[in-house]
Amino acid sequence: MALFWLSDEAWAVTEPHLPKNQPGARRVDDRRVIPGILHVLKVGCRWCDCPPDYGPSITIYNRFNRWSHRGFWLKLLDALLDTGAVTKSTSIDSTYVKAQRAAFGAKGGARRKQSAARAVAGRPRSMHSPTSSAVRTR
């Protein structure tokens, strides 16, 4: 698998917008972490499945989450738009990937079979429920 790394030009545009002087332990290099975040968003894998070359997966997730809450990604996108590095139609996630038909319970999926069986048999009733036939006949 080929890893994605920021070019020198992309890093020159990105780096001035990164948070500076963050307290805490020695930070994993942002130039490693940002491509890891982009990898997860593009491929659609779980954070814990991000290749270790990008840094610890928990660090990658925490930076994405923290920076998202601070609006960092929108500011960075605006900066990249201003430089012409990307266009407004650029997409970095995997929302265009087609899911399997059965993934959401479509025809052929396990959920569809359950609901079809329930539709034929009706709702299960107990002897003690107010809607059971034994109660209605009294």
Q: What is the pLDDT of residues 76-130, one digit of tens each?
A: 888 878 877 667 665 555 555 555 656 556 555 555 455 555 555 555 555 555 5
pLDDT band of 23, cuts 50, 70, 90? confident
| Prediction pTM value | 0.57
User: At a CB cut-off of 8 Å and minimum separation 6, what does 6 contact?
Assistant: 14, 31, 34, 35
Which tops the pLDDT comparison, 53 or 123? 53
Which segments of 18-103 are extended strands (E)? Answer: none
